[in-house]
Amino acid sequence: MELLIPGLILVALMVYASTKIKKTAAAAFEPETIETDEFVVEKPEGFLNVLNHDPALDLDMYSRDFGVENTANIKQARVEMRHYRVCTMNEAIKMIKENATIKSDIAEIINERKYRLVEAERIEKGIGYREIYKLTESGPDVFELKAIVLEDASDEISQKADGIVLSFIVK
């Protein structure tokens, strides 16, 4: 009897902590606007913004969902943002061409700033990827947002990745 009450208290605390952790984890995948001094981007439901990301990246996100069969250990979509210092748009496009096959390259203007939307395909270790880039120059620098989507990703994930790219605006 002496151990029953402390045991029940311990179980209750564990259930409370587990519920709290699950709620916090679920909230991390909720939609949000990510805004820094340099850019704004919309994160849809089902994507996680990695806070302790690679220092070479200014932004790192991935989808909750994994691929299927031979891609079961790979997230269906990842999004990365890089800030290339002292780089031209042509140099950035050349870097894309070195790693992927460009399928389309469209110029657009948003709030008087020129952007390039580039769609490319890449095969790595026998796995196909669709890459969507949004690039813009800011002074001597180039900002590049890249969505990397598995070739066999669901339509929903693919559309959300496209939405992230389209929402990306440099201040």
Of the candidates 71, 88, 84, the one whose C-alpha atom is nearest the C-alpha of residue 154 is 71
Domain count within the chain = 2
CA angle 61, 64, 69 (to 5 degrees): 115
Asked if 41 and 25 sit in the same domain, the reply is: no
- Report the CATH number that the domain containing residue 66 is assigned in CATH: 3.40.1000.10
Residues 96, 102 contacting (CB under 8 angstroms)? yes
Q: Could you tell me if 165 and 145 lie in one domain?
A: yes
Same domain, 10 and 56: no
Q: Same domain, yes or no, for 25 and 35?
A: no
- For tokens 């994507």, the residue is 47
Mark whether 11 and 76 lie in a shared domain.
no
Q: Do 69 and 1 lie in a common domain?
A: no
Range of the domain at 163: 31-170
pLDDT tens for the chain, residues 1 to 171: 666 666 666 666 676 656 666 666 556 678 999 999 999 999 999 999 998 888 899 999 999 999 998 899 999 999 999 999 999 999 999 999 999 999 999 999 998 999 999 999 999 999 999 999 999 999 999 999 999 999 999 999 999 999 999 999 999
| pLDDT for 27 | 62
For 125, how many CA atoms within 13 A lie in the half-sphere containing its CB? 4
Q: Do 38 and 4 lie in a common domain?
A: no
Q: What is the pLDDT of residue 51?
A: 86
Give the helix/strand (H/E) hosting 121.
strand 113-124
* 131 in Cβ contact with 122 (< 8 Å): yes
> Is the domain of 22 the same as that of 35?
no
Both 19 and 39 in a single domain? no
Indicate whether 64 and 135 sit together in one domain.
yes
Regarding whether 133 and 61 lie in a shared domain, the answer is yes
Q: State the amino acid at position 104 in one-letter form.
A: S
d(CA 42, CA 160): 10
Q: What order do you get walking across the sheet with 141-150 strand by strand?
A: 47-49, 59-63, 77-84, 141-150, 127-138, 113-124, 101-110
CA atoms within 13 Å, Cβ hemisphere of 17: 6
Quote the CA–CA distance of 78 and 149 in Å, as a whole number: 7
Are both 12 and 50 inside the same structural domain? no
Tokens of 126: 């026998």
**pLDDT of res. 124:** 93
Torsion angle (degrees, nearest 10) of CA 71, 75, 79, 84: -60
Give 110-146 pLDDT, tens digit per residue: 989 999 999 999 999 999 999 999 999 999 999 999 9
How would you list the strands of the sheet with 169-170, edge to edge? 32-35, 39-43, 169-170
